[in-house]
Amino acid sequence: MIAEKMKPFVRNNSAIRVMFEEGNRLKKLYGAENVFDFSLGNPSVPAPDSIREAILELVNSEDPLVLHGYMSNAGFEDVRETIAQSLNRRFQTSFHARNLIMTVGAGSALNVILKTIVNPGEEVVVFAPYFLEYGAYIRNYDGILVEVSPDTRTFQPNLAEFAGKITAKTRAVIVNTPHNPTGIIYSEETIIELCRILTEKQKEFGSVIYLISDEPYRELAYDGVQVPFLTKYYANTVVGYSYSKSLSLPGERIGYLAIPDEADQSEELITAAAIANRISGCVNAPSLMQKVIAKCVDEACDVEAYDRNRKALYQGLTELGFECVRPQGAFYLFMKSPVPDEKAFCEAARKYNILMVPGSSFACPGYVRLAYCVSYDTIIHSLPWFAKLAEEYRKG
């Protein structure tokens, strides 16, 4: 018999995962080249050669008792120092090893920080559309998700509504930029205003409100658009990073939390987060991958293939008359459904073996998400089928 708390999760098992299974079924039936599966954010660019080389070198040369052994719950000290220095070089921050906690990807980083700071009944504000797992993560600690509705004009966070959603019970705000599912990058202007509101509200309520920056797509930014580094704008910022997308390592489960010294009672916060990492059951992030990351810390993300896909898909779909949010980062394109019921639109697309995720899976109905981390050929071959789909809606 499963716990009551699990029952809603079983009932609403992630639509994206269900679609992933459906994609595999269709590929078996029709052949992979005839299925246009835009459902899952699984990188299509292989991990760089330096990752394989680092793995081989480490397993052949390191003391296996160290390489595969337990270490501090926060991770290997030398690895954390290497990452801290890399961040300092790139973003003019002042991190040390003590500010970093290696985690089992961004999902775990979010769980660790929420476990560290959220008391039952406290609120965590998120901006729709958002990665729906946030709701599950917040409920893991009996927190309450408070949603800010989308600004469908710009898909920047709706700051006018945001200010009114912060209460004495607000413990944290989660932002994600570059953004899943829209591909939008929050502008510096937006970040400055968001941080101004947070500073004002902390004063008003005499509370500490953390800004949690969920950054698995930081490296995936196009056209030279800058992604502001949020600890520089607001002291109570905690960054959750992941190598899942930037180095194409989602199955390896490696990322980190960065907690700056400027954060309120940072020493206690960092100690508590390292303990949360342990008692969440992760104990520590995978040891071999930590060492691999240290060796490849300045490896650039190969964004060219995604950029090529982005341009081809955006251009192809807009030429067909679909209304799309122009992606600036990540590898997602958010498209307006031609009918209010976007699930019906996704169903119609499935006839042509096109798989897209309904916007309601991101608390934003009326839109669909296409993950363009697929082969370029998939994009090009999908366009004639999208043309048929567009034709259906033109006929009304």
- Contacts with ligand PLP by CB under 6 A lie at 41, 105-107, 131, 176, 180, 214, 216, 242, 244, 250, 255
- Report, in Å, the least distance between residue 284 CB and ligand PLP: 16
Contact 338, 322 (CB under 8 A): yes
- At 60, the amino acid letter reads N
Q: Where are the alpha helices (DSSP H) in 246-324?
A: 266-277, 287-295, 304-319
- Report, in Å, the least distance between residue 354 CB and ligand PLP: 21
- Report, in Å, the least distance between residue 43 CB and ligand PLP: 10
Contact 355, 19 (CB under 8 A): yes
- Report, in Å, the least distance between residue 252 CB and ligand PLP: 9
Cβ proximity to ligand PLP: between 23 and 107 the closer is 107
Question: Can you point out the beta strands (E) in 38-195?
Answer: 100-103, 123-127, 144-148, 170-175
Cβ proximity to ligand PLP: between 170 and 180 the closer is 180
Cis amide linkage into residue 157, ω under 30° from 0: no
Cβ proximity to ligand PLP: between 255 and 286 the closer is 255
**Beta-sheet pairing, 255-258 with 237-242:** antiparallel
- Report, in Å, the least distance between residue 180 CB and ligand PLP: 4
- Report, in Å, the least distance between residue 127 CB and ligand PLP: 12
Cβ proximity to ligand PLP: between 202 and 284 the closer is 284
Cβ proximity to ligand PLP: between 178 and 316 the closer is 178
- Report, in Å, the least distance between residue 20 CB and ligand PLP: 12
What is the rounded CA–CA span in Å between residue 179 and residue 379? 21
C-alpha angle 130/135/140, rounded to 5°?
Answer: 150
Cβ proximity to ligand PLP: between 180 and 190 the closer is 180
What is the rounded CA–CA span in Å between residue 343 and residue 178? 25
Contact 209, 166 (CB under 8 A): yes
Cβ proximity to ligand PLP: between 176 and 190 the closer is 176
10 Å CB burial of residue 246 (0-12, 13-18, 19+) is: buried
